[in-house]
Amino acid sequence: MKRRNFLLSLGIGSGAALLTPESAFAGTSKKGKTGSIRKVKKAMLSIQRMAWEQGTAAQALLEMGDSELVILFAKEAVLRSVKDGRLALVDSSNAVTDPASNGEALLFAYMQTGEEFLKKASDTMLDYLLNHAPKTSDGILFHINNQPQVWIDAMYMAPPFLALAGSFDEAVKQINGFRKYLWNEEKKMFSHIWDEGKKSFGRKDFWGVGNGWAAAGMTRVIKALPEEHKESRNKIIGYVKEVLDGCLAYQREDGLFHNVVDDPSSFVETNLAQMLSYTIFRGIKAGWLDKSYLTRAEKMRNAAHSKVDKYGLVQGVCGSPEFNHSGTACEGQAFFLLMEVAYKELQKK
C-alpha cells in the first residue's frame, strides 16, 4: 500500500495526472511540429526492439499519456522475460541493467489494470537488481553479465526503476557509484565503460549518448525521490547541472554535438541534443534548473526537428544496431517524443 500511494503521488496509475495522446500536443504549431510527432511515433513503433529499446519506447509512450500502448508494451516485456526476472529479452542477452528500463511502464500497467502478473514481474525484476545481478565489490551494477564492466548507459536503465519501486537508497547508491567509476572531473562528463577486471577503462571516450543517458536518468530519479531524501536529491541536481555544463561547452553552432563530445573528428550526432533538451525542459519545469539553459535547449530541439525525414525517422542519431555510425535508432525516436512532451509541458502555466 505504501508503494501504491507513492506511485500515485508521482502520477503513475493516476489517469488524472497524464496527458492523453490526443491532447499531449494540442496547440502545437502545424508548421512541422505536430505532423513530425505523429510520424516519429509511428516510425518508433515499427522498429524492432531490444530490452532497453522496448523500455525507452514505453517510457516515451507513458510520458505522452498513451496508456493503452504502455500497457501493451509492459505485457510484452513480461512475455519476453526470463526466469531470473530480466524483462524484454528477445535473445540470449547478457544484459543486466537494460531490462530494468521497462520498470516504470510495468508499474504503471499494474496500477492501471490490477493484474497480479505485472506486479510479480516488477517484484522479480527488482529482486534481481538488488540481490542477484553481478556487481563490483562495493555493490555497483555491472551492465552485462559476461564481463565485469560498469557502463554509463546503466544510469538511465536502473536507478529510475529502483527509485520508483521504493528502493530510494539503492537508486542513490547506484548513481554515486556510476559517478565514482566514470565521472571525469576535468571534462565534466562521463566516460563510457569502466572494466573492473582490468582496473582500467574499457572505453574512456565521452560518448554523447552515454552522457545523455546519465542526464535523463538522473532527471527521472530527481522526480521520484521523496521529500525525506532532499539531501540526495539536491546532490543529484548538482550532478545533472555539471554534466549539462560539460556537454554544452562542446555544443556546435547548429545545436548538435559530436558522437564523442570532445572529438570533432567523430560524426555529428542528433540524440544527445534531444536527451539534454529533455533534461533541461524537465529541470526548468520542476524548478531546479535555471531558465538560462532554455535558449540552448530550444536550439537543440530545432536541430532535432530538422533531422526528421519524410517517414518520421530521426536521422543522424548514434545508429543501431552497432551504435558506431550516424543512422537511426529506437532510442532516437523515443527521445524525440520525450523531448516534445517535456517542451509542451513547460509551456503550460
Domain boundaries, the chain: 2-20+40-344
> What confidence tens digit (pLDDT) does each residue in 76-94 have?
999 999 999 999 999 868 9
pLDDT of 22 reads: 47
Residue 86 contacts residue 134 (beta carbons within 8 Å): no
All residues at 6 or more sequence positions from 347 whose CB lies less than 8 Å from its CB, including other chains: none
Chain centroid to Cα 48, Å, comes to 18
Question: How far is residue 7's CA from residue 18's CA, in Å, rounded to a whole number?
Answer: 13
Residues 84 and 145: their CA atoms lie apart, in Å, by 13
Q: Determine the topology of domain 2-20+40-344 in CATH.
A: Glycosyltransferase (1.50.10)
Cα(first)–Cα(last) distance of the chain, in Å? 33
pLDDT digits (tens, 9 = 90+) for 285-324: 999 999 999 999 999 999 999 999 999 999 999 999 999 9
What percent of the chain is predicted at pLDDT more than 70?
Answer: 90
Look at residue 203 and give its three-state secondary structure: strand
Give the number of other CB atoms < 10 A from CB of residue 52.
25
The CA-CA-CA angle for residues 246, 251, 253, to 5°, reads 160
- Alpha-helical runs (H) found in the chain: 2-9, 34-46, 51-64, 67-79, 103-113, 116-127, 154-157, 159-164, 168-182, 208-224, 230-248, 271-286, 294-305, 330-347
Give Rg (Cα) of the chain: 18
Question: The whole model's pTM is what?
Answer: 0.93
> All 3 cell numbers of residue 268?
555529428
